[in-house]
Every structure is written in structure tokens, then in C-alpha cells.
Chain A
Amino acid sequence: MKKTIFYILSSLLFLLPALMLAVKSFTPVWKWGEPLSFEWTLRGWEVFLMDPRIYEALFVSILIALAVTFLNLMVGFLTGKALSHSVFKGKGLLETFLLLPLFIPTMAAALGLHITMIRLGLANQWLGVVIVHLVPTIPYTIKVMKAGYDRVGSGMIQQAKVLGGSPFHVFRSVELPLLMPSVRSAVFLTVTISMSQYVLTAVIGGGNVITLPIIYYPFLQSVNDTVMAAFSIAFAMLPVIAVAAVELLSKILTYKGTFVNRGVT
């Protein structure tokens, strides 16, 4: 019963709209009052794919998102573990402090950071954009990773240590595999957030760093639904690609069943 409801709701609210979007990207614009017609067109995808900046934008978007994800995970693993497994004074305060970036309006943060970025020579560069994308992502990652470490518990890690694992080996063989669900959530969140940043990218990138949203938003003003649909689909594919990349990396890093280990007894 529960399963049926789940399938009905998910197809109604998720699958159907996604399908509609896919269909939309291949059918011409239909105006209210016109007779219903079923024609197919590749114009939407043509406009999208013929835009000379699109491939660069795709590449830059993925590059930035992956760099942001990498930094997020580095910070997330370390901070999450510290917040979850160690006891120190002012822990609660620090936890709140780390969440604060989410409460500052993006615009305020961006304008303030812009001046710093100019001073550091990072304005108008993709590295600057990467750093500024950390502002709306890191608090989430830390939260997710802390929850992950809470779930795994410190006993498991200590047990691995007592059995003779070095810190890195314990990380690869125990922490990483057990934390994969958290890593996946963190990656998905980070990539999606990073890829939807318009204001932060526009301000810090200064029009020099062209990511997908920078092209996407001006298109929104056009009324061509077909092009928009094609665009949206391409946009939605990016996080999937990024998550696949991280998944692959973790497979290589994980001790058990690694490529390195295969065939070696």
C-alpha cells in the first residue's frame, strides 16, 4: 500500500514533469488558442548546442562544481569528525558559528568578498568563484558529514585502529565506505548549489567566468519554451555527471575491491 502511494506520487510529481520537459524540448512552442498539433523539432537543442559559449560554460561549470565539492569534502570530513567525535570547550558555539554563512544574504556576502577578491587578485577568475561558492555550500556539508560521523560512531574507528590500521588505511577501509551515504548527499547538495549560483558567480567572476547559469538566466527572458526545456535538461544532467565522477573517485580510494587491489592476493 505504502509502496503504491510512493510510486503514484513519485511518477505524478517527479517522473511526469521530467517527461514533459523532455517532450517539450523536442516540440515547437504552442500558443494558447492554436489548434493542437504534434510536430517535432530539434530547434531547441540546436539553439542550445550552437551557442559558441556553451561548451566552455559546461566545462567551467563542472570544473568549478568539482573543485568546490573537493574542498567541501576535505573540510567536511575533518570538521565533521572533529565536531562528532571529539569533546572540547565551545563546541556548540563553533557549530553555530559554522552555520552562520547561511544566514547572511548572498548579495551582502558577495559584495563584501568582492573587494577582498580584488585585493587578492582572485576577482574575475574561476578560482575566485570556487572560493566564493564555498560560502553557501560548506555549512551544509559540515552538517551532513557530522551527522554521518555521529551515525558511524567513534567505536568503529577506534576498533580499526586497535587492529593495527594507520589513520589513512582506517579512512580508506572503514570511514569512507561507511560514510558513503553522507558523501553522496553532500556531493549532490554541493554540486547543485554551486551550479545554481548566479549572483555570486556574476559578481566575483565579473562576466569573465562564464558558467551555465550566466548563460541560462538571460535565456529565461526569452519566451521560447523549447529552448528553455533543452537548456533545463542539460542543466539537470550536470549534477549527475559530477556525482558519477565522485563515485568513481571514491571507488578508487576505497580499500576493499579497489582497482589497485584487483588480482593481487
Chain B
Amino acid sequence: MTYFSLVKAHKEYQKKEIFTGIDFSLEKGEILSLVGPSGTGKSTLLRCIAGLEQFTAGHALLEDQRVEHLKGKERTVGMVFQQPLLFPHLTILENVIYGLKLKRSKREAATEGIKYIKSVGLEDYIHAYPHELSGGQQQRIALIRALVLKPKLLLLDEPFSSLDPDLRRELRDWVRMLLKQEKMTAIFVTHDREEAMLLGDKVAVLAEGKIQQIGPPRQVYEQPSNELVARHYADVIVLNDREYAPNHFFVWSSSKAAFSAEFCVLEAQWLNQTYQFGESYAHIQMTGTKRRHIIPAKHDLSHLTPGKTGYVAVNRNEIRSFDKEE
């Protein structure tokens, strides 16, 4: 039996289709990362599941029960937003137990709340007000404020997007640990694919109003099912609407003559060179598609001027075609 599923979810806003025919299911304790370009309705999808907006058609089932219409104390879906949204007039403890107090006695709620605050190492701030906390601390409190209610499904809408990169890195590992420890079923929305891989047991790519592909992070990365997935989630260069090749098989050269007939050669412009993990990488822009890509560069090519036209090539053996199984 599936734990959570979305059935033919469809949303229109002012006659404009935002997403359509969204179907997927989650097992208990599974975390799904939802990636995709901004403006594709990832947040809207979460808001509909949480009941803050209505699906135009379709519905969400949690343990065979419709969830998006549940109100007040009946709610079983929790949500963490981009901003911490702590209530500024309440102390940290009061913030954390805001929802719990409605279900249990104040004393029980406080005991539980303090336990959670301690577990995230913020016990010094129990009676402080939100403005005394840093952004990362606030987001941690926002997260336990949702977790303390023990929701059956937790929705996270880019919870790290308002934090600086170092803090994000630290916080996302911690969030995954916490979610796993609580055996929480969660849907995590992000536009950062590294984050999606780190947090998700499964990854779904949402683009142009549809789930383009769903599967384990590695599988989606290595076998993108179409051009949209390839562009947003995988490191591949799309050759045409059927074929692609992974970036790391490409080679740069200033002259076309350097490549034998075994290679598929494309014109590209040199942009820059960067170094990471002891390797050097060339940043290039394809002349045909105008898309920017990063490919390995074995030699020091820093003498090249940005904008110089050259060629990238890939051995024809490495060219793959998109799965057309749908």
C-alpha cells in the first residue's frame, strides 16, 4: 500500500495552466526532492498539498485519506517555508509549541518543545525572541516547530534559500539526519540539484508543468529521460532531441583537424577555466544552442581569450539516447 500519493493533480491560475497530470507516490519515511527551474509551480504544488491553495482537479491521498481539505487541528501535513516565519511576538518556546498547545495541555507541550529545542542545541534561547537568533538558527526553529507536531507528511519549500552558502551546506546535512531520525516522509522543493541529491531518496524533475522523470538521484542523473531533465538535472550536452553525451567525455580543441572521424564535433566558444577538486574545467558556450557547459580540460588553457571559437568533440561510442519508454 502506498503511503502518500498525488493523483492527477492539476492547477490552473487565471486560466493559465501551472501544472497538470502530476502523479507520484511515496512510501513511509521516504524523502522526495522536487527539482526544476523556478516558476514551474513547485511551490504551488506544495501549497496545494498543504491546503493553502486548491487543486483545480485531482487530489492528494495520505494513508488513503484526502488530506488537502483537512483544517485546523485535523491537519496531518506540515510545511516549512522559504522564510523562517517565526512569530516575532512569541518566544522561541512559544513558537515551537504554537501548534502543539492546541492539541495537548500547555505543560505537556512545553516539555516536548524544550526537548526538541535541546535536540537542535538552542536551549540557551528558549525564552529569547526570534530577532535574537541568526537566520540559520531561526530556520532550525522553524523546522522543529513543524516536526514537533509529528506530521504524517512534511513539505519543505526551499527552506535554505534565504541562507548563505556555508550555512546551507551545514544545515542540509543536519536536516537530512533529523528527518531520517524522525522517520519523516517529506517532499523537499529546491532548484539546487546538489541539494536535491543530498536530501532526496528519490528525485523528481518538474518542468513545464509536468513531472519529467522520477527516480533515485543517480539514475536520473545518469539516464535523463528527455532534454528537459538533461538540462536541469544531469551534466550532459544534448546533441539533438534524441541523443546526448555526458560532459566528462567531451574534449576541447581549437582546431577541427585534431579530431578523427570517430568523434562527433560541435562548434563552441571558450569562456573560462576553473579548478575544482584538483581538476581543471573549461567553461564553454555552444554556438548552436547558446547553452553554457562545463567540460574537463586536461591542459592549461588560460592563454585562450574568452569568446574564442573552437571545437568540442565526443567519441561517438559515448553518445546515448534518451529513454523513450513512456
A residues near B, CB below 8 A?
A: 155-156, 158-166, 169, 173-174, 177-178, 256, 264-265
Contacts and interface: CB of A to CB of B under 8 A. Distances in A.
B233 to A, nearest CB: 29
A165 B145 CA distance: 13
A12 to B, nearest CB: 35
7 contacts: A156-B85, A159-B81, A162-B52, A163-B78, A164-B75, A169-B72, A265-B106
A166 B101 CA distance: 13
B88 A164 contact: no
B198 interface: no
B89 A256 contact: yes
Interface residues of B, number: 27
A162 B78 contact: yes
B52 A178 contact: no
Sorted nearest first, the 7 A-B pairs with minimum C-beta distance are A163-B99, A159-B85, A166-B72, A164-B99, A162-B79, A177-B89, A265-B106
Contacts of A159: 79, 81, 85, 87
Contacts of A169: 72, 102
Given A155-B83, A156-B87, A178-B89, A164 B52 contact: no
Per DSSP, chain B at the interface is loop
A162 B77 CA distance: 8
A155 B98 CA distance: 16
A181 to B, nearest CB: 11
B292 interface: no
Given A158-B52, A265-B105, 10 more contacts: A155-B83, A158-B81, A159-B85, A162-B50, A162-B77, A166-B71, A166-B72, A178-B87, A256-B89, A265-B106
A114 to B, nearest CB: 44
Interface of B: 50, 52, 71-73, 75, 77-79, 81, 83, 85, 87-90, 94, 98-99, 102-103, 105-107, 145-146, 149
A169 B103 CA distance: 13
Contacts of A166: 71-73
B106 A264 contact: yes
Contact of B102 (A155, A156, A164): A164
A35 B313 CA distance: 108
